[in-house]
Structures are given as C-alpha cells and as structure tokens.
Structure 1
Amino acid sequence: MFPSSLRRRDLGAAALGGLTGGLTAASPAWSQRAAAAVAPPAADVVLAARHRRVFAGLAARIDAQLTDVQSVVVQHRGQPAFDWFRSGTTADTLHDVQSVTKSVLALLFGQAMADGLVRGPDELVALRLPAMLRLGADARVQRLRFAHLLTMTAGWPPDEIARPGRDDDLRWLVRRPFVAEPGTRFAYDNGAANLLALGLAQAVGEPLANYARRRLFQPLGIGRLAWRRGAQGHALGAIGLSLTTPAMARLGELVLHEGQWQGRSLVPRAYVQDLARRHSSGGPPLSTAYGYLWWLGAGSVMASGYGGQWIHVDPALDLVVALTSRRTPESAARGQGATLIRRDIVPAVRRLQRAGQ
C-alpha cells in the first residue's frame, strides 16, 4: 500500500510542470489490486470501447502539438488503453531512456535480494567491493550502505554529468570528496548509481546486463534491449539502458503489482513497497520526494530520464504510462511528456473512474 504520507502530500514540483500536484489523494492497497480477478472478455471489450472514447483525438494532438514526444503506451486496469508512435518509430524501436536506467537498477537490486545474492539495502557496499577500501578514499566510504546509494544520500555532491572515461572507474567514484555524512542529505548523483551498479554486478557474479536479461527482462517477456558499458567494460547504473516503450510499460506494471508478475514473484513485495516509500524530500532535478531510485508524487511513482523519458505508475487509477521524447535541452525545458501525462492521460482515466466504469 502507498504510505499515507505519500498519498496526502502535494509535491507539485515546477520541474514537473505540476505533474504530481493534480493526482488523486487516496490509493487502495496494491495487494488487493494484484489479487483482483481478471475481467471477463466481455468486460474487456467494454473497457476498450471506453478507452477509445476518452482518448479520442489524443493521437492527433500529440502529432501536431507535442512534437517532442516520440512514443506513448498507456495500460489501464491491466489492459492496453492507448498507444501512439511518431512516424519512423514503432513498438520495437529502442529508445535511450537515460536515467530511467537508475529505476531499473533499483528493481534489479530487489531481484538480487530474491535470489539471495544480497542481504538487503542495509548491507555495506564495501562487503561487495572491498577494493574501495584500499584506494585512499575518505573513511566515510567504509560506512556506505546500499541504502545510501538507492536513496541518493551517499554524501557526495550532486552530479548529473556523464563522464565516459570515468563512469565505471571505481577509483574515481570513491575518491570524490564528500560534502555530507552518508544518509543525511539527498543529492542526485550519477556516481552513486554507477557505484551501485558495480557493487551489484560483483554480488551477482556476472555482468549486470546478463543477469538483468536472465532474471528480470526475460521473465517479463522483454527480449529487445541494450545496455551501454563504461570505459572499464561495466554496465552503467546512472544511464545506458535502451528499451522499447512497451518494455517500459511492463516494468511499470511490475511496480504497480508490487513485484508480482503473472502469478510469480520477481521482486520481493516488501522491497517494492519500500521502493515506493518516501525516504527523503528529494531535490533537483525534479524537486519531489524520492524512494529507491524512483521519484514519488502525490500517489504516484515515477522513473524519469533526461529530455522526457517516463514510466508513470498510479496505483489509485490502476494506471501505467510509458513515454519517450527527443533527448535535447529544449525538450527537457518544454516538458511535453509531463504535460501529456498531467493534462491529458491522467484526467481521461480519472473520468472513467469517477463514472464508476
């Protein structure tokens, strides 16, 4: 279940263009939704007709007015509700999802917990990467726990810059100067996510991309993806994943159903609940609350990537939106993807809910 503090908190960040502020204030238990009976085929047909009605004209609006947006997939009540792909893009097109990679990394950590390969967020990072203690780093690296990396509270300053030669360089990552004690201050830090990826790869005992394909993506039916490596040959944690838009939606569905997929537990339910819990008030770039590498709105959980890459999960509406955009400074500033979710998709689904349909 979404914590009550999340359900009632209107975080309405300017960077989101108000995306979080207009969402519903009450969310039912996720566990009740995950256990709900599958609607009979006749109900599916009726729901599909209602989706067509509430989303009528949306494709034309995106095509003409939201030119940054490249693809959209909407799942409502477990059913396809709307999809749209700009000319030259299809459901099979891979999109560089930027920092959505971080949120997928958080799911992988939960998968590794289920496999017994990590004990949990409270485990010391140095137990998996003992070399970091021999690199002449600040003594605070000895106290770093995976929870600090998952919540962006490691103690390093904010860093949103990709550094192709250093992103997976353990020495460079851990020798950066600390500005706070671990666990005391939020700072959105690509280096922390990249360090998490290195530690998790060590824990699972194989390249992280291989583990992800075998234990997370394949069970979800996701076969088409790419994961960029750094200069040292390791999968990056801050950025680097390329996914199709339907694959992004499936990851959102996994979060919506608390790590359960087709009767199988992929990620521990308690971990996904903790992932969606407010661990800090967050800060830039979205300036909204933060869980485990997922941003939190008023009743929503979001993966966000530079330029307008989104996985938006709203349990109260039984809604998942996956959306990609052009990756440019201009598209990041315009925020058309966030606008589309806030002004068009969420209100359309809410109208169905208010009608009791």
Structure 2
Amino acid sequence: MSIRIIVATFLVCLLGSAAAAQPLPRYDLEQLEAAIDKGELGDIAALASTQGGEITYRKRFDGKAPGTPVDIKSAGKSITALAVGMAIMDGKLAGRDVAVWPYLGHSRGEPFDSITVGDLLAMASALDCDDRDGKSPGQEERMYRTREWRAFALDLPARSFTRGENGYGPFSYCTAGVFLLGQVVETATGERFDDYVQRRLFDPLGIARPIWRTSRSGEIQSGGQLTISDDALLKIGRLVLDRGEWDGRQVIDRDWIESMLTPRHTLGEHQFYGDLWWATPLRAGEQYVPAWMMKGNGGNIVAVVPTHDAVLVVQTRNYNKRDAERHAFTALWAMLGALEPVTAPAIAR
C-alpha cells in the first residue's frame, strides 16, 4: 500500500468526523508559548517543526541549550522499526515473516516458534506481555527489575492467541517484544544494536550518538528510553516523509517505509497502529489531516504530516501525567496551524 493510498484512506476515515476528536485548546503559536510559560501544559521541554525540510519553528522552554537531548521514552520504538528495515535491506534479515526464535538461540515449541518479526513489530505476538496491565507477566517494569532483560523476555509465558483475518493476533503493547527485536537485529547483523543504528541511520543523517538506556548487564533497550535531540528527531521524521531517502541516498528501502506505515490494527475510531508507528489525525485549520507518529510516555511525539510536507516534534517531561498527551496534541495543533498545506514530494512522486 503506497503512502498516497494510505493518506487517501485516512482522509476518508478521519475527515468525515472531526467532531469525534477530544476538544483541545486552539492556540496560535504566541498563545501556545504563553500557556507553556504559565505552566498550563506541564513540563514542555522543546517544540520544533519543519516544512519542506526547512525549519519553520523551534523553541526551547526548559532553559536548556537548543538541541539538549530529552528522553523520549517509547517514541524510540519507532527507530527499531527502521533498524529492522535496514537489516532487511542489507540482506542480513530475510524479511518480516521470518521466525524470531531461531535468532534468539533456542526453540521453545509452539506458539513461540511461530512468532515472527512482523508479529513483534505489530505488537501482536503470542507473548503474555501487556505493559498497560500491571499484572501481566511481561509488563515492562518487571523486566527493568531484572539484570538480564533477554532472559526475562525469552522466558515469558504464552497468552491465548489466535490470528485474525489479517494474519495478526490481537494488539498487546509489549516493550519486551520490541527489546527482542533489537536482539534479533544484533544477531542478524553481528553488531550491537546501538552501533548498527548509529552506522546505518544516525551517521548518514549527521546525528550525534544519542544515549540509549541499558540493562544492568549492558543490553541496549531497543524498546525505547532513548535520550535524543529535537533536531535529530526532525531529521528522522524527514527521512520517513521522503520514504527512506536522505541527501540523494536511499538509506532505507521505500517499500519498507510504506510497509511500516501500513495499519495493522484499528485501536479506536481514529487511531491506527502500523509497525511501531501510530496514526492519529491532527487538526489543521478547520479540518483534520492524517499523521504518522512516534509516540512515547509524557507526550513525546514526532509527527509526520504528508499533507503539509511537515515534521513536528514535541519533547516533554510530563512523564506518567494524565494530561500529557492532551498537552502534546495542543502543541502539535498550534504548530501545524501555522503551516499551509502543500503537495508533499513524498505524496506526489
């Protein structure tokens, strides 16, 4: 499914019922800045936007220097989806349909041996793992209390699991599964996950090495908890908007970007999930437009908006706050409202 078709699908699904979205304050940028300065949107660290690759807005609100890294929490999961695509492009990984367990060192029998890369990308595996359920055996805080996350994830029990007509099981948000994807990339490429991503993704984009969270045994958390700058996130968003191309070089296959941004789950009337990327509409003037997003705790969001050829970044420290995402969307609306819609190259080509 091409990005053009995905956008058209979203326009049909999303624009027909704008009133269904939760009401948010409608600020222009000046009003937004005033609200942030008054503390009305919690701890917003940085906002930034680009259109056509040019910076249209960038402001720091926490008193730190521009570009100071912020922990974007689970928004880092979306980078793992890019890493999987690069490993496939490099011929190190056969594809999204390959079984995971052979890369992880041992067989456990069914249903584990049938878990694929695609299952983990879509948060739809047989692992009994749900971060939003404190009683789940795989809940991520349980993993963080262990010394070796790999051992924890490999020992998870199975849940009741049936594949639907689309080939995927039910959605279950599972950080441990995304961590295992990083372990698969390490085995397939023969490089530590952070080194591979730095060489294949960050270096071509001119991004300085970010700070990856690690387990006590030194394992890289490919399931999020990444501390990175806003300008780096703008570049990553632009790479996705341009279907894997950067400065004339195809860093990631176009087909992978389009596959990654194909909805695997419908999570609400206007919310979809692809391969570790979210799709949620954004208000632009008097209508709603589709956007693909990296999303993390606290309202940390990178939004790719094809109708405006734009990338929007919100970095916050509103971790575990009830209104965190509401505050982030308020900022996204204001930044997008300052831009005119265009025909994005990523759609027109």
Taking structure 2 as the reference length, what is the TM-score of the superposition?
0.81
1 CA distance for matches of 2:313 and 2:303? 6
RMSD of aligned alpha carbons: 2.8
2 CA distance for matches of 1:275 and 1:263? 21
1:161-206 Cα distance to aligned partner (Å, 9 max, x none): 3332348533321332323136221111112111111111111111
2 CA distance for matches of 1:338 and 1:205? 39
Quote the offset at 1:138 in angstroms.
5.8
Quote the offset at 1:237 in angstroms.
2.1
Quote the offset at 1:272 in angstroms.
0.2
User: Gaps spanning 5+ residues in structure 2: where?
Assistant: 133-139, 282-289, 344-349
2 CA distance for matches of 1:315 and 1:114? 24
Q: Give 2:161's aligned residue.
A: 180
Residue of 103, 106, 120 corresponding to 1:128 = 103
User: Gaps spanning 5+ residues in structure 1: where?
Assistant: 23-53
Quote the offset at 1:95 in angstroms.
0.7
Residue of 177, 185, 188 corresponding to 1:192 = 177
Residue of 127, 131, 136 corresponding to 1:159 = 131
2 CA distance for matches of 1:332 and 1:117? 42
Within 5 Å, which residues of 2 pair with 1:1-357?
A: 1-2=3-4, 3=6, 4-10=8-14, 17=22, 55=29, 58-64=32-38, 65-131=40-106, 133=107, 137=108, 139-156=110-127, 157-160=129-132, 161-162=140-141, 163-166=143-146, 169-174=149-154, 175-181=156-162, 183-282=168-267, 288-298=271-281, 299-330=290-321, 332-333=323-324, 335-342=326-333, 344-350=334-340
Among all aligned residue pairs of Structure 1 and Structure 2, give the percentage whose two residues are the same amino acid.
26
SS state of the match for residue 169, structure 2?
Answer: coil
Query: Is the CA contact 1:158–1:189 (under 8 Å) kept in the aligned structure 2?
Result: yes
Q: Once structures 1 and 2 are overlaid, which stretch shifts more, 166-175 or 195-204?
A: 166-175
Which residue type is aligned with residue 36 of structure 2? Answer: I
Q: Give 1:41's aligned residue.
A: none
In structure 2, the CA distance between the partners of 1:167 and 1:145, relative to structure 1 (3 Å rule), is: farther
SS state of the match for residue 49, structure 2?
Answer: strand
Taking structure 1 as the reference length, what is the TM-score of the superposition?
0.79
Quote the offset at 1:327 in angstroms.
3.6
Which residue type is aligned with residue 295 of structure 2? Answer: S
SS state of the match for residue 139, structure 1?
Answer: coil
2 CA distance for matches of 1:85 and 1:164? 31
Which residue type is aligned with residue 329 of structure 1? Answer: N
2 CA distance for matches of 1:167 and 1:252? 33
Question: Number of paired residues?
Answer: 313
Quote the offset at 1:276 in angstroms.
1.0
Query: Is the CA contact 1:248–1:322 (under 8 Å) kept in the aligned structure 2?
Result: yes
Q: Once structures 1 and 2 are overlaid, which stretch shifts more, 78-87 or 61-70?
A: 61-70
Give the 4+ runs in structure 1 shifted more than 4 A. 11-14, 16-19, 54-58, 331-334
SS state of the match for residue 341, structure 1?
Answer: helix
Quote the offset at 1:323 in angstroms.
1.1
In structure 2, the CA distance between the partners of 1:8 and 1:231, relative to structure 1 (3 Å rule), is: farther
